[in-house]
A and B are shown apart, each in its own frame.
Chain A
């Protein structure tokens, strides 16, 4: 199982106890978020919808690449950055 570092924008700090960075395990973005969800219940569904798509106003970057689906692969040492898109309101 790959270990990645996840950076989380402030809009998710209510789930992480204020932490902006957490390690997580998984082979895909969805698995990484599921691992986080076990420690931060509710976080995954706020970011990924029931069809495994990254929500319209969220962005999940795997290193520099914009991932739009939970099936996006991650590798050991990757950085996942979860942030609100320049939208919403």
Chain B
């Protein structure tokens, strides 16, 4: 059992580390690291608990990845950051705008990492993040343009590849989410891919159940039951239990006045039936804020059959929070701690699986991602 928790907070203006003890009553903040840089993701490698990677760019400078082996005391920049293949002048060309997502590889491949980018691209490092190469099976797939659509099909700050998931039983089995595009699966470590969207809606198309083109906001695989997947989608909350390759809309059990639209999703590390979401207003023009100005987390303990509202300690009214897809996570302690960051720069924590919440940092820059690691 770890002694405490380390939170890695990525913001639009830098990265912050927060350390809390096992009781998680108080947190000590360190940083900012890379003040002024746009940090989309900061991830500590659970395999060695010392390699920290951050995805960075600035308003002017292009995208890169930095890594640290001493919790940010020193940083090394990737010698070859994620980048698409160069094409001849005059032909359609892609360039990485920003690295959006970082995932450590399978436990059997200790130096492997994956990165998802905007626009949609998947990259792999085999040397701990020093150099990156494109996963050609996806990046050069002849159907990729059809799967992902045009720029109008992406998120407001660019289309993204996210939720890179590796099956802990088999390093060859991988999933990615693309916004837009949908969920895709590979059984050969990225050489070949196929759409994995049956049952998930895309109500922004004439056919609301297309083969691809959906907008999964966040996809998660349970580490102890890897045949169970959850996703918070643009069009609802879903669960899939393999071998049945069909998404079931478990968000249908959410209160009608709240709905099941949101960006993030977090799983209990030991109980595959428990998950949490943070609903947002997806009505009319999509305000993307807490429904009614009353923020709440919703928990299911039965794999989505029922949901319970958890808002003790959160503002009761006139609180219009937005929580981005990477800004909600759980720790591995018992009881499980939950953490979410808002675009208004507040970081909220619960040490009792969502029963009560308290604010552990205010006035940070716009929060893009929150990850919890054992400390």
Contacts and interface: CB of A to CB of B under 8 A. Distances in A.
B56 to A, nearest CB: 10
A71 B81 CA distance: 22
B172 to A, nearest CB: 28
Given A41-B79, A50-B95, A50-B96, A58 B59 contact: no
B60 A50 contact: no
Interface in A29-81: 41-42, 45-53, 55, 57-58, 71
Secondary structure at the A interface, as helix, strand, loop or mixed, is loop
B86 A11 contact: no
Interface residues of A, number: 22
Given A42-B77, A51-B93, A88 B58 contact: yes
B108 interface: no
B27 interface: no
A55 B60 contact: yes
Interface in B58-91: 58-62, 64, 77-79, 81, 83-87, 89
Interface residues of B, number: 20
A46 to B, nearest CB: 4
B86 A50 contact: yes
A11 to B, nearest CB: 6
B142 to A, nearest CB: 20
Contact of B62 (A45, A85, A87, A89): A45
Secondary structure at the B interface, as helix, strand, loop or mixed, is loop
Nearest to A83: B60
Interface in B293-331: none
Contacts of A42: 64, 77-79
B83 A89 contact: no
Given A50-B95, A50-B96, A58 B87 contact: no
A11 B87 CA distance: 29
B60 A11 contact: yes
A51 B61 contact: no
Contact of A47 (B62, B85, B86, B87): B62
Which of A47, A49, A84, A89 has the most C-beta atoms of chain B within 10 angstroms of its own C-beta?
A49
Contacts of B85: 50
A11 B62 contact: no
A41 B131 CA distance: 13
Given A51-B93, A57-B59, A88-B59, A45 B64 contact: yes
Nearest to A49: B95
B64 A50 contact: no
Contact of A11 (B58, B83, B96): B58
A57 B38 CA distance: 14
Contacts of B89: 52, 71
A13 to B, nearest CB: 12
Contacts of B84: 50-51
Given A51-B93, A88-B58, 15 more contacts: A11-B61, A42-B77, A42-B79, A45-B64, A46-B61, A47-B62, A50-B83, A51-B94, A52-B89, A55-B61, A57-B59, A58-B60, A58-B61, A84-B60, A89-B59
15 contacts: A11-B58, A11-B60, A12-B61, A42-B77, A42-B78, A45-B62, A45-B81, A47-B61, A49-B83, A51-B93, A52-B89, A55-B61, A58-B61, A85-B60, A87-B59
